[in-house]
Amino acid sequence: MAHSFSIFRNSVVNFLFLIGFVTLQLPVKNAKPATFLQDFRITWSDSHIKQLDGGKGIQLLLDQNSGCGFASKSKYLFGRVSMKIKLIPGDSAGTVTAFYMNSDTDQVRDELDFEFLGNRTGQPYSVQTNVYAHGKGDREQRVNLWFDPAADFHTYSILWNHHHVVFSVDEVPIRVYKNNEAKGVPFPKMQPMGIYSTLWEADDWATRGGLEKINWSKAPFYAYYKDFDIEGCPAPGPSACASSPANWWEGIGYQQLDSVAARRYRWVRTNHMVYDYCTDKQRNPVTPPECMNGI
């Protein structure tokens, strides 16, 4: 415990030092607070999802009977999605809280995943990200969060434009998947994707290959969501939208990481990355081409 706390404290100090007094203020235009039911519907186990605060927030529940899930009513082609999530506190090992986008097309699936893998009390949550493009996935990365994601709400977002996909935690990029079509690497750009979230049991794989099992005597487990924000081109919708360079998420400031964001991203990769498919020689004896392009 003492050991992991000091690692945590050191990384906070390190982080504060790194960002100094520079604040990143990207203009967020058209931000609109959405109530849950405005943009989403329950897809799995109604009885395990409860609306809070007049629909501005929700509670997801996992017990031995069921997990639960929700999805956006529309699909979107490019844009940015964000929500605030407070994860299961205490002994959450074996639970997975997911937030992802998915084209829902079996053969040529596009998918962008955030998966929050629970852990034993006092051990860090891992955030696994993955990118499927044109049906090919197997691009897992894992980072350990530098704060306790169950103590408070934090913002998780996916920015998706013609240039890259950026997964961020509180405005800190933790994953960038660039458009490397010039190198023959597929990039999701043809299919609209819906936004999904689920809370479920995955102790057969999530805990270091299934080493740790869910402790059901701690159930029910709760995760909380609020501040849903979707900005993107709805599909079906105006067909010119997705290719319009006038969308703010396609703007010059969003086509690559600026210097502050790039520094934060390097900080995450240096200090918090615990797994990267790019460097897993057993799985990928030949480095995948998208991994060779720097960050």
The catalytic residue positions are: 111, 115
Report the residue from 58, 207, 223, 260 that binds ligand NAG according to the rule CB under 6 A. Answer: 207
- Which of 124, 173 has the CB closer to ligand NAG? 124
208: contact with ligand NAG by CB under 6 A: yes
Q: Is 53 left (phi over 0), alpha (psi -120 to 50) or beta?
A: left
Which range binds ligand NAG by CB under 6 A, 171-179, 183-191, 213-221, 246-254? 213-221
Report the residue from 14, 215, 255, 271 that binds ligand NAG according to the rule CB under 6 A. Answer: 215
Rounded to 5°, angle at Cα 142 from 141 and 143 = 130
Q: Using alpha carbons, select from 94, 91, 161, 101 the residue that is nearest to residue 129.
A: 101
Cis-peptide into 188, omega within 30 deg: no
Residue with the two structure tokens 């703010």:
248
72: contact with ligand NAG by CB under 6 A: no
Give min distance, CB of 33 to ligand NAG, in A.
Answer: 32
Percentage helix, strand, coil for the chain under 3-state DSSP, each rounded to 5: 20, 35, 45
- Which of 191, 271 has the CB closer to ligand NAG? 271
The token duo for 278 is: 């790019």
| C-alpha torsion sign, points 214, 218, 220, 225 | negative
Cis-peptide into 236, omega within 30 deg: yes
Report the residue from 69, 124, 149, 173 that binds ligand NAG according to the rule CB under 6 A. Answer: 124
Residue 229 to residue 106: CA distance in whole angstroms: 27
Q: Using alpha carbons, select from 130, 244, 140 the residue that is nearest to residue 188.
A: 130
Which range binds ligand NAG by CB under 6 A, 35-43, 212-220, 233-241, 284-292? 212-220
Scan residues 272-291 and list those touching ligand NAG (CB under 6 A): 274
Q: Contacts with ligand NAG: how many residues (CB under 6 A)?
A: 12
- Which of 124, 234 has the CB closer to ligand NAG? 124
Residue 273 to residue 146: CA distance in whole angstroms: 11
Give SS3 for 139. coil
Shortest-Cβ-distance residue relative to ligand NAG: 123
Element (H, E) at 36: helix 36-39
Which range binds ligand NAG by CB under 6 A, 35-43, 78-86, 123-131, 220-228? 123-131
190: contact with ligand NAG by CB under 6 A: no
- Which of 77, 117 has the CB closer to ligand NAG? 117
Other Cβ atoms less than 10 A from the Cβ of 35: the count is 16
- Which of 239, 279 has the CB closer to ligand NAG? 279
Report the residue from 64, 217, 259, 282 that binds ligand NAG according to the rule CB under 6 A. Answer: 217
Please say whether the beta carbons of 91 and 203 come within 8 A. Answer: no
- Which of 110, 203 has the CB closer to ligand NAG? 203
**Residues that bind ligand NAG in the complex, under the rule CB under 6 A:** 117, 119, 123-124, 126, 206-208, 215, 217-218, 274
